Structure 1
């Protein structure tokens, strides 16, 4: 944030935002009368994940965007209304571009999701779209990656997909991939009878009907709740705008708020119940003091993070949470407060088209183990950059993506694709709302849209793709999955069904996000976010 405090009129909008919306109390005033000044605390800077919103709030330009300053004139910019993919909320944004370059990102009003705010990661990631881009196909020759043609790259992909048995092939989709691309890949894999595919890069064990893994109360439904139990989640990192809504509700003196998980600064007070997942069982059996507080609530929410659902017992733990939801008013007539919070923009959409292993198929962990053991001979990574892959000498890695990140570093064949801002695509947010991401600029170099690359591979394999255009692909998706049409009315989810309780002995929580500023390949390429991360690391050390 760039400051020109000689312009300041002391309206205190930024001060009120800091205390009421972000909850960090970082900005205040010193002096009185004519000597009054707006400033941060002594030797401190603005550190909130939402701090950039004061740029939009300032009516006189005393607070402006430092990365964007003097880089373009507003009338030179092409304005594209689209959605954000930096987290799973699907915030409505406007991307301003000049030529082939994205210049800035601004929020759009949507009271149901992000209201008029966006996170700092969303506001400042845009420069990452210009760095470390993959603009040509590459193949590995010896230990080096060398440029190749699209014809040669498609032929190599074809040879490695048809030369192995179906059980020796696997695919994993990433966190920024639109529904159309995942659907296209699934159809390709079905055509060659592959059953090993997964969209859960982090090893989450969510599965089953959508009401088991979506935010059922809806994001705006937080405003109706009178209590909240957080389980294995840190919403300040995983969804800062959702955390801001909880902050505002927590100011109600009767609001009951508890956390089962690691202690963290959420910008509001809560009762820390402990870190052991077994505490859920204790509450279910009425052996925890928090039970009395839950009994006072009529519309409580339960928010389960992805960190609570990883590991071998993740599915059993989810079943236990559903049982708890039915006992303590989280689910009752007219209210469904059972919520699973996603961190990846494409996860809910991929789950909705069942991009998870079939019966006898392998999940993410089993696929990686199979690659290392030589049981998986070819793996297709569709924008999957969060995997820890190494020593895959016996496995041929095909990577389709837009940044030279972790996935590309381990690849034997690289197929350059468009980033989310360079192609039209559908995304389902954490509450199950389908929205369209609209192309704001064209792909760089020789990069192609994801679905088009997969169609070329399908044609090389003599598979009937049933579509030749993006519009045709969408019609096919809408016919098979009518709930994915963004023009249909948003429907509330059903209640999750109970299952038999199983033992969760040995289950542990993990941290869904270890570094808030580096959660995907675009943010890791961003200089703006690197500087923010460096400051955070320096402060913590």
Structure 2
């Protein structure tokens, strides 16, 4: 006996019947949503639950009865709202005839490419054609063909297969916010493309592969590598930002061949950033190291694990603990971070840090989980971004904010450059790095003018600036309802980050907004919770370089690219007596400074736990095979700790390790950095979206993408003329020669030079005074 709906339905629920099954569905829902909710399958191509309704494929036509009368024509289930008492027949003779007729029309021009199409075996058109298509086509005319368009290194096109569902068009306009694809011409001449033959540059472009129901858009790096049924899907998470996007690793014989999103509505919904989708190419770079190596008499030698661990243990014992610095990559797992702290305690060192890009430690700040959960960001009414290129720092958080803007939210920014947002800004304040604090103080002044008392530590600074109407508007918007203040990477890594943090917190408190600070590193929140930070009297990451130690442990760190001050890092490491490196790669710079390299697995290859921005600990199991004799980092650390007979390394397996992990978060301080004198020209250093870590820097398709810009010095035209460089193609910065690019996004007094490039990694750090000259 089937369950009957209540006659006393809630005001926002409607009673309908689908194929004889009664159900309740929210008012305003479409028939197809009601059918999906009760497991009734209606064929569709253009409909996607996350995209606006188009109703242009007509595959979902169904019979609808209202008030005892059958509608004269079938209705598209995706575009027909439910109504009280409605009866829907998805399998009636008339509905099936229309669905089969539409299927026949769609197949008229579709090529018989299934044996060579990458979509074969997981194609929606194949699946629906099997149930609704004819065995033999009645069409005898010539099929139409469409010229392909090169839309970049990430997505391959075969547009003859396109059925004009427009999912990709709606994705780029409504989700990516870039309007890069569209339909041209009419009728059977309709074509989907960019019109002007340009690369699709959105940082979410790979998602058009997932929404495409046919093989018109496919994964270019994966092209012709394997058939869908040859792949094994392993659940994993993204490790290039702290969102922790859920994903599937598709592997064959232990090798990751592609990555696709795994649904999680509270984190990444059903989307995946290109950074997480294509980074797996970096796992198989030419300089990936698969065997332990030691440096003897200046020469690198491949050796056994036993010899390498003995060598590393003896090296670490040569200097006292006070002369040992341990530098940890912020994407290292909880398990690795905890063992590194045990290693530090066992060797008597308080000098441990994972905040490699941070310059200001006056407030001893470390990453913390968001006050406003990621899933709620698309509901805010206003947002203030401080020092944040959110599209590149955390693409899918930016997507949430984009959805909020579409609902009417106002976004204001205080940034060191005019970053490229995919939504309109209600207000934008652009200031050179040396003026960024004052620009944010102006907003704080507006908050004080609105009736909030300034904290004593900030009062004089706030009273020393002026605010304008734009500042007042921003404060009013933040006060008007649900709002969030987001501190981004360009603020967290700023040389006066403690000021920006204190002012942003004050603005959030004054307006009732939530305060969210973007972590720098995929597991920065987890490592901060575990206290992978300097102990009592310990030196932070920059102090360890400014006051060089005799011995260093580098864990997952690639000098000089991973440091805020790459030049200082190389200088300190070159002068050290012993450097023990745990690394997946053996770069030339690492080989220069290290004495032993212990090969460790990367996240797709190991069991690990990472904590995301919401404070959610996500555990994953190894999904891919590590090369050669590579071992998980926790196993190498356990073996090293055992070899030098340290306490805390007696566990037998990963479960034993996890049982012993406890949180030891360090307490923040209330200090503020000394305000530096204003310079004529300072460097703005941001980390490019596809150069943020060692794996990304080796992902070939991502590095061929236009968003991965060539290293250059970027000045605005006014600044270039002031410096006498207006007509110059190249400039000198110290010993480095770089192209000069005129860029309206850069404010006066600043030169934008992206970090983590081979040519820029050793230049003066973010906020440093620089001098440019003609090359």
Q: Same fold (TM over 0.5)?
A: yes
How many angstroms does 1:437 deviate by? 2.5
> Are 1:174 and 2:329 an aligned pair?
yes
TM-score by length of 1: 0.89
> Are 1:247 and 2:424 an aligned pair?
no
Distance 2:299 2:521 in 1: 31
- The equivalent position to 1:114 in structure 2, one of 268, 279, 287, is 268
1:488 matched residue in structure 2 = none
2:524 matched residue in structure 1 = 347
Over 3 Å counting, the alpha-carbon distance change for 1:344 and 1:327 in structure 2 is same
Distance 2:590 2:265 in 1: 36
Q: Please give the residue correspondences for 1:348-427 in structure 2 after superposition, counting only pairs within 5 Å.
A: 348-371=525-548, 376-385=549-558, 386-387=562-563, 388=566, 389-391=569-571, 392-405=574-587, 406-427=589-610
Distance 1:457 1:415 in 2: 10
TM-score by length of 2: 0.63
How many angstroms does 1:380 deviate by? 0.1
More divergent stretch after superposition (425-434 vs 388-397): 388-397
1:194 matched residue in structure 2 = 349
Distance 1:129 1:95 in 2: 13
How many angstroms does 1:311 deviate by? 5.0
Which is greater in Rg? 2
Distance 1:245 1:351 in 2: 26
Q: Please give the residue correspondences for 1:120-139 in structure 2 after superposition, counting only pairs within 5 Å.
A: 120-131=274-285, 132-139=287-294
Distance 2:690 2:318 in 1: 41
**1:228·1:302 contact (CA, 8 Å) conserved in 2?**
yes
Q: What are structure 2's unaligned runs of at least 5 residues? A: 1-154, 447-466, 715-740, 742-775
- The equivalent position to 1:292 in structure 2, one of 467, 473, 482, is 473
**2:531·2:663 contact (CA, 8 Å) conserved in 1?**
no
**What secondary structure, in the 3-state scheme, does the structure 1 residue paired with 2:704 have?**
helix
Distance 2:368 2:708 in 1: 35
Over 3 Å counting, the alpha-carbon distance change for 1:311 and 1:209 in structure 2 is closer
**What secondary structure, in the 3-state scheme, does the structure 1 residue paired with 2:553 have?**
strand
1:279 matched residue in structure 2 = 439
Looking at both structures, which has the greater relative contact order when contacts are Cα pairs under 8 Å and sequence separation is at least 6?
1
1:524 matched residue in structure 2 = 697
**What secondary structure, in the 3-state scheme, does the structure 1 residue paired with 2:544 have?**
helix
**What secondary structure, in the 3-state scheme, does the structure 1 residue paired with 2:234 have?**
strand
The list of structure 1 runs, each at least 4 consecutive aligned residues, that deviate by more than 6 angstroms after superposition, is: 206-210, 500-503, 507-510, 538-541
**1:277·1:507 contact (CA, 8 Å) conserved in 2?**
no
Distance 2:199 2:693 in 1: 25
Q: Please give the residue correspondences for 1:506-517 in structure 2 after superposition, counting only pairs within 5 Å.
A: 513-517=686-690
Over 3 Å counting, the alpha-carbon distance change for 1:195 and 1:116 in structure 2 is same
Over 3 Å counting, the alpha-carbon distance change for 1:125 and 1:355 in structure 2 is same
2:450 matched residue in structure 1 = none
How many angstroms does 1:528 deviate by? 1.9
More divergent stretch after superposition (59-68 vs 461-470): 461-470
Deviations 1:435-474 (A, max 9, x none): 1122112321111111111111111221122422111011
Distance 2:711 2:411 in 1: 35
How many angstroms does 1:80 deviate by? 0.5
1:487 matched residue in structure 2 = none
Distance 1:259 1:534 in 2: 22
> Are 1:82 and 2:232 an aligned pair?
no
**What secondary structure, in the 3-state scheme, does the structure 2 residue paired with 1:521 have?**
coil
Distance 2:273 2:327 in 1: 28
More divergent stretch after superposition (242-251 vs 84-93): 242-251
> Are 1:444 and 2:627 an aligned pair?
yes
How many angstroms does 1:344 deviate by? 1.1
Distance 1:229 1:506 in 2: 27
Q: CA RMSD in A?
A: 2.6
More divergent stretch after superposition (316-325 vs 515-524): 316-325
Over 3 Å counting, the alpha-carbon distance change for 1:482 and 1:504 in structure 2 is closer
**1:215·1:339 contact (CA, 8 Å) conserved in 2?**
yes
**What secondary structure, in the 3-state scheme, does the structure 2 residue paired with 1:325 have?**
helix
**1:421·1:439 contact (CA, 8 Å) conserved in 2?**
yes
Count of matched residue pairs: 516
How many angstroms does 1:310 deviate by? 3.0
More divergent stretch after superposition (504-513 vs 253-262): 504-513
How many angstroms does 1:291 deviate by? 2.4
Deviations 1:272-330 (A, max 9, x none): 12322212222212234222342242111111013212355322431222122111121
Q: Please give the residue correspondences for 1:99-110 in structure 2 after superposition, counting only pairs within 5 Å.
A: 99-110=253-264
Q: What are structure 1's unaligned runs of at least 5 residues? A: 331-336, 484-495
Q: Please give the residue correspondences for 1:204-243 in structure 2 after superposition, counting only pairs within 5 Å.
A: 205=360, 213-243=368-398
> Are 1:141 and 2:141 an aligned pair?
no
**What secondary structure, in the 3-state scheme, does the structure 1 residue paired with 2:242 have?**
coil
**1:78·1:96 contact (CA, 8 Å) conserved in 2?**
yes
Distance 1:407 1:538 in 2: 22
